[in-house]
Amino acid sequence: MDPLRNRTYLSAAALSGVLAAGGLTAQAADATASTEPQKPKWETSAFLGATLTSGNSDTLLVTGNILTQRKWDKNELSLGADGTYGENDGEKNNEAIHGFMQYNRLFTERLYGYARADALHDGIAEVDYRVTLSPGVGYYFVKNDKTLLSAEFGPGVVFENLAGVESQYWTLRFAERFEHKLSKVARIWQSVEYLPKVDEFGNYVLNAELGLEAALTEKLSLNTFVQDTYRSEPAAGREENDLKWVTGIKYRF
């Protein structure tokens, strides 16, 4: 056989082998990539808690919320809504709905700017509506896989209808949030938000929450938490403080 032709056959065979090996390698890489779990762009959860008693007193309390968040590049976006409805011996004693949106833009690993909007309706406290808009700055004092501790500060404006009286005023927003994973299946969290009027610090709203979560399955968890809202100057005939202790089930989508 012609040596030149023989070398050509050998070169062609070698090239075919390289291409085949490359194809197998690419297929293996694709298979590996397809089996790797994809982190969801949005992390969403829904919570439902209910208390029902019958006998000397008939009471009903239902609380629910839905929360979703997304983190990408140097951006963090959180949205949520929650509501409560309750009756005691046929008389309504809880009727509230609240929603919020917050966008964070990270300047560094820990320092960020934010824009936040809150809206509240509380029929029992005679808050027809309270809308708060607040830009500001925040800082993560602790930020790792187990613990988050952040604080925020900024000016804000409040649009409010309290017992039929409309008002608009400037406020300051001081907020703090802490979250810690006790184990792979349990975590605690706590938050405080203080919003005084700029020209009258004795007139303010204080929101606080403390909670514990324990996983039951990969998707389900048991949550119990205390929520407290304090309005220093409530509507006439209403209490300053509203306290709720809620236990229920949370589902992660």
> What CATH number did the domain enclosing 85 receive?
2.40.160.40
Q: Are residues 12 and 60 in the same domain?
A: no
pTM: predicted TM-score of the whole model, two decimal places? 0.78
Q: Which residue has the higher pLDDT, 238 or 161?
A: 161
Q: Are residues 246 and 230 in the same domain?
A: yes
Q: Are residues 190 and 78 in the same domain?
A: yes
pLDDT score recorded for residue 18:
41
Q: Are residues 30 and 44 in the same domain?
A: no
pLDDT score recorded for residue 24:
44
**Which pLDDT tens digit goes with each residue over 55-74?**
666 788 899 999 999 999 99
Query: What's the rounded Cα separation, in Å, for the pair 194 and 177?
Result: 12
Q: Are residues 3 and 27 in the same domain?
A: yes
Q: Are residues 69 and 127 in the same domain?
A: yes
- The number of folded domains in the chain is 2
Q: Are residues 10 and 86 in the same domain?
A: no
- Least confidently predicted of 17-21, 163-167, 168-172: 17-21
One-letter amino acid for residue 233 of the chain: E
Nearest Cα to 58, choosing from 85, 96, 83, 91? 91
Domain membership of residue 33 as a residue range: 1-38
Q: Are residues 14 and 58 in the same domain?
A: no
53-92 in b/e burial notation, b at 16+ Cβ within 10 A?
eeeeeeebbbbbbbbeeeeeeeebebbbebbbbbbeeeee
Mean pLDDT of the chain: 86
Q: Are residues 27 and 72 in the same domain?
A: no
Q: Are residues 27 and 140 in the same domain?
A: no
19: confidence class by pLDDT, cuts 50, 70, 90: very low
Q: Which residue has the higher pLDDT, 69 or 25?
A: 69
**Which pLDDT tens digit goes with each residue over 234-250?**
888 888 888 888 899 99
pLDDT score recorded for residue 252:
93
Share of residues in the chain with pLDDT > 90 (%): 68
- In this predicted structure, the answer to whether residue 143 has a pLDDT above a threshold of 50 is yes
Q: Are residues 32 and 53 in the same domain?
A: no
Q: Are residues 218 and 112 in the same domain?
A: yes
